[in-house]
Chain A
């Protein structure tokens, strides 16, 4: 349970809010490279942290992320002409470069220098791992560029997708660190999904639906270990790292690619759920890549031409009660990604946490909220930069291991939780 003021604090990320400032302390994924495929391609509208912007790639390949609306009379620059190193408003021809600087006001003599007086708000936009990232905080405190392993492996080893989700970011993120739902909501998929099935570890998941948890603080966030019984008194551990504010990785299964998520607020009632899959040491196979494109694993199928899931609330997520009854799916919704999204959206645009009844096994969620609130307040009130901004924080991995009963996973799996170039994931 959270008090109303606490719930407001953690869910509101617009400009000037404490949690908004917190989010503005990190590089956030906002677009796929494919959305700005080439120089002078059409500009794209993006809303992040309740700010509306336009992204474009100019004639020289420079990336721009600027205020969506023209400084002259407020037209959306989405209608703009992306040409000759700038975005030109189609209304009266004002032109802006990737830094937001107005470079041409056709009605005024160029010599007057009037254009110099006009500049739109702009944020840096960089490309890494097939993803475009922005940092919306003060320039003086820019953190190191993204070093998440999925974004640094060769592109043929990774697949990243995003989907729109119609609810506040936090309830989506909380789903990612809520390891106890897997044995219920996703149980039908462990043995069927091409990106999950066949792993030796699956049988422990299915046989033991009452895992025991161990939550350990990490410098940048948390490790959430879920322990299930394995053979000979040993334990099967699934370890999920969470890095502030919104990054998690799912523990691996067999030699399947490893995956994880980012949840980035669009505004307070919608977010982008990012899903990435990669293998640290080998290219993804054609079958794997095709399965991901087909919406298997944590990915989804789309309404053509959009990033909106094909199964969405307008069609009741294509719920199939037969499949639910027969146990092919636990909730009747197909696909792991949509199983999560459908339930999270059903909580409402902003989950009312004053009414929930948490139990001991929800400590991962309780701790994550606690750390978020604490960090947001420290930043807002005292200017203390939040955890999770260093390269080491980003070099994390999830792991699945079998350990003797007396070994703490944090130590026994220490190496397994660090991303290392050329080293395979630790998995069962």
Chain B
């Protein structure tokens, strides 16, 4: 039988001829902790080397003008930046919730992600001894907004996921 192209090109030998030029550019991943438990995890993880991922430990709101509420992201060095700007410039937004703490601020982030057409990934990482219904509360707050919702009990999963996403 004539050797088909598929048979030829799928050999290990042919794999040597794959183009090695990098196929991806650095991307802007914004990692936002939604509560103090998550902030501790994010703090740890941010110390590892990353490809430009930005880490924020909290979100704060400020009344500006009549009806306007301005949201600020606080990074680990104590700097603040404008949430709108960060989301607008993101390729992907990852929010992290330690179980049971207040995940309500996610709706503000989610609205912006929607507006700027950014994918929102939500990670719930229950730590220590936790109550199932507190996890459920976090999930309920996150579910309507996230394109991908993950419940991971192992904290090193956050790192594994960010690495996989080339963050």
Contact = CB atoms under 8 A, between A and B. Distances in A.
B90 interface: no
A178 interface: no
A366 B4 contact: no
A425 to B, nearest CB: 24
A317 B6 CA distance: 8
A215 B15 contact: no
Nearest to A406: B140
**Interface-centre pick from B9, B121, B136, B152 (highest chain A CB count, 10 A):** B152
B8 to A, nearest CB: 9
B69 interface: no
A214 B12 contact: no
A405 B144 CA distance: 8
Contacts of A166: 10
Interface string A336-380: 000000100110111010010111111100110110001000000
A30 B4 CA distance: 29
Contact of B152 (A348, A357, A367): A367
Contacts of B24: 357
A360 B11 CA distance: 31
B152 to A, nearest CB: 7
A367 B148 contact: no
B6 A1 contact: no
Contacts, number: 112
B163 interface: yes
A213 B149 contact: yes
Interface string A302-341: 0000000000011111000000000000000000000000
Nearest to B19: A355
Contact of B10 (A215, A348, A352, A355): A348
B164 interface: yes
A214 B124 CA distance: 11
A117 to B, nearest CB: 41
A383 interface: no
Contacts of A214: 143, 148-151
B23 A355 contact: yes
A44 interface: no
A408 interface: yes
A217 interface: yes
Contacts of A408: 136, 139-140, 143
Contact of B148 (A345, A346, A348, A363): A363
Interface of B: 1, 3-7, 9-12, 14-15, 18, 23-24, 92, 119-121, 136, 139-140, 143-144, 146-154, 156-157, 160-161, 163-166
10 contacts: A167-B10, A214-B149, A342-B6, A360-B121, A361-B147, A363-B161, A366-B161, A367-B150, A367-B161, A406-B143
